[in-house]
A and B are shown apart, each in its own frame.
Chain A
Amino acid sequence: MSKRPASTETFDPAIASKRPKPPSGITMALERIQLEHIPQSYRVYGALFRDVSNASFLQTQLISRNPEFEYAFIDASTIVSRAHLLAAVWNAVYTSVEGNLRTPNVHSEVVASLNINNNIADGYRRWGITPDKTKDLVVVKILSSPETLSDVEQQKEAEEVWAHLTAQIEGRPVGLIDGEIAQVTDWQKVRKYYKLNGVPVLDQMKDDTEKRKRTESLAIMGMALRGL
């Protein structure tokens, strides 16, 4: 298989870091995530916070439907990899574009999309933020507007999101990358939630990297086949 054509825009963190930093001087660990097959007018931002100490407060904001807290808050221990997370994000955005949301909004849809069955409450409970339990938190923010934003507007938007997140989340921001995610994954939980205990293909595998890759594929497949 050939590489994607050179004209393709892919997100390059190295380029992003050359952009103007937020005025506060905080290094921005918020990433604009590029997804394919969704309208350009959608912007998806993601971040990972370690050692979060105010999960209860954050969950309360979600439950009270505080309009300032329109985020997908995901317990990072249930995430296998970046691709696993993005599969759920993509599904939520696609579902929203198609007008088939099963939950109140696109952010809750991200959490529900991580589930392999159609029980929405169950999805929130397992993959969502849990008071006193969630220590590491993935945050996803999805925005859309009728027109595509200019680079300057988009940068401003990202900075606003980031400023709000860092003001409200008591935790340590790190990059939303496989290396960081792997440190917080709870494999027992993942195997239970995705019904992977006793799956022959995983039991046969010795190599850890290979095993993680397979687990990622199986989780994504489980999500894609939800309800079947």
Chain B
Amino acid sequence: MTEPATEFPPPKILTLSPTHKPILITQGAEGRLYKTPSPFQPNQFCALKYRPPKPYRHPILDARLTKARISSEAKVLDRCYREGVPVPAVLAKDAAAGWMMIEWIEGEPVRVGINTWLGERPEDDAVVDTSQEDETPLIDLMKRIGVAVGALHRTGVVHGDLTTSNMMLRPWADDRLPNGHGSTSERAKAVAGDVIVIDFGLAMQSQSDEDRAVDLYVLERAFASTHPRAERLFHHILDSYREAFKKAPGVLHKLEDVRMRGRKRSMLG
């Protein structure tokens, strides 16, 4: 997210029509995400996920891995979308060329929304008495996260990298926004919106409580380090997860074990 787009040549698909310059949104270890006009929906954008070839891998192996990973991510998105889990729709893909185009999700990552809500207050929470303020909008967001993760797990998919950066907050239409004026309402808007889960690059299909518990554990750890001042509210995610997902009790029980030993189920300690 730090380096300008000119650092890398864009994939061929983005060079076919020279009228639009793609915008590089993020650069991860495995792939890049561009914002670019939708191929066939006028006046709409899409996200293009591109996995460039890796020069250090044997070309045949590289091509096979890239193709399999794009296809696997598309399959997981399709499965989630059909089941009503809030994820972006797939528009087109060319797995052999290493790209897929998905629906562009408006809004900010949940991470940004929560941090905006928390504001620029001092790190030392003891100084500011937060117990008096109305935290309902933030708690409501936590509950929506729990529902989204519950729906995901119910579908038989584990995400593999659940963080508040891998969830988008898609703004509601104006009539659903919180009422009121002033700074309170402005802050509430920062945490309003539908939670859409994104980036299924590490996702896999699994029904096991162990995998699901690790998913929650990763989210818990990521949340604590990204939003230390909201950590005490994390349990709201687990509470609504329990309500949204019938098999949650087993997962949450397993989560206790995972907390004790960490993410890896290694027998070597």
Q: How large is the interface on B (under 10, 10 to 19, 20 to 34, 35 or more residues)?
A: 35 or more
In the bound complex, residues from chain A placing their C-beta under 8 Å from that of B81 are 201, 217-218, 221
- Quick check: which of A4-12, A103-111, A118-126, A166-174 contacts chain B, the rest being far away? A4-12
- Please count how many residues in chain A sit with their CB below 8 Å of the partner chain's CB atoms: 35
Asked if A225 is at the interface of the complex by the 8 Å CB criterion, the answer is yes
Contact A90 B37 (CB under 8 A): no
Contact A225 B93 (CB under 8 A): yes
Which residues of A (83-103) have their CB < 8 Å from a CB of B? 83, 86-87, 89-91, 94, 97-98
- Which chain A residue has the least Cβ–Cβ distance from B106? A1
**12 pairs of residues in contact across A and B, judged by CB atoms under 8 Å:** A34-B42, A35-B39, A36-B36, A37-B16, A40-B19, A83-B41, A86-B40, A94-B16, A98-B94, A200-B84, A220-B90, A225-B78
Bound Cα distance from A107 to B121, whole angstroms:
61
Contact A89 B40 (CB under 8 A): yes
Contact A8 B89 (CB under 8 A): no
Contact pick for B40, options A11, A39, A90, CB 8 Å: A90
Contact B75 A90 (CB under 8 A): no
Interface membership of chain A positions 62-97, coded 1 if the CB is closer than 8 angstroms to chain B and 0 otherwise: 000000000000000000000100110111001001
Asked if B136 is at the interface of the complex by the 8 Å CB criterion, the answer is no
In the bound complex, residues from chain A placing their C-beta under 8 Å from that of B16 are 37-39, 94, 97
Contact B17 A225 (CB under 8 A): no
Contact A40 B17 (CB under 8 A): yes
Which residues of A (161-195) have their CB < 8 Å from a CB of B? none
In the bound complex, residues from chain A placing their C-beta under 8 Å from that of B100 are 224
Bound Cα distance from A9 to B20, whole angstroms:
10
Asked if B18 is at the interface of the complex by the 8 Å CB criterion, the answer is yes
10 smallest A-B Cβ distances: which pairs? A86-B40, A201-B84, A1-B106, A217-B89, A36-B37, A90-B40, A90-B39, A221-B90, A224-B90, A36-B39
In the bound complex, residues from chain A placing their C-beta under 8 Å from that of B63 are none
In the bound complex, residues from chain B placing their C-beta under 8 Å from that of A4 are 37, 43, 45
Smallest beta-carbon distance B15→chain A, Å: 9
In the bound complex, residues from chain B placing their C-beta under 8 Å from that of A218 are 81-82, 89
Inter-chain contact count A-B, CB under 8 Å? 101
Which residues of B (21-51) have their CB < 8 Å from a CB of A? 36-43, 45
Interface residues of B (CB under 8 A from A): 13-14, 16-20, 36-43, 45, 71, 74-75, 77-78, 81-84, 89-94, 97, 100, 103-104, 106
In the bound complex, residues from chain A placing their C-beta under 8 Å from that of B19 are 8-9, 40
Smallest beta-carbon distance B171→chain A, Å: 10
In the bound complex, residues from chain B placing their C-beta under 8 Å from that of A3 are 43
Contact B40 A200 (CB under 8 A): no
Contact pick for B93, options A1, A34, A98, A224, CB 8 Å: A224
Asked if A150 is at the interface of the complex by the 8 Å CB criterion, the answer is no
Interface residues of A (CB under 8 A from B): 1, 3-4, 8-11, 34-40, 83, 86-87, 89-91, 94, 97-98, 199-201, 204, 217-218, 220-222, 224-225, 228
Smallest beta-carbon distance A38→chain B, Å: 6
Bound Cα distance from A225 to B94, whole angstroms:
10
Contact B17 A36 (CB under 8 A): yes
Contact B78 A221 (CB under 8 A): yes
Contact A11 B42 (CB under 8 A): yes
Contact pick for A224, options B37, B45, B92, CB 8 Å: B92
Contact pick for A36, options B20, B75, B94, CB 8 Å: B20
Smallest beta-carbon distance B28→chain A, Å: 21
Smallest beta-carbon distance A206→chain B, Å: 13
- Which chain B residue has the least Cβ–Cβ distance from A11? B42
Bound Cα distance from A30 to B62, whole angstroms:
45
Bound Cα distance from A98 to B16, whole angstroms:
10
In the bound complex, residues from chain B placing their C-beta under 8 Å from that of A228 are 71, 74-75, 78
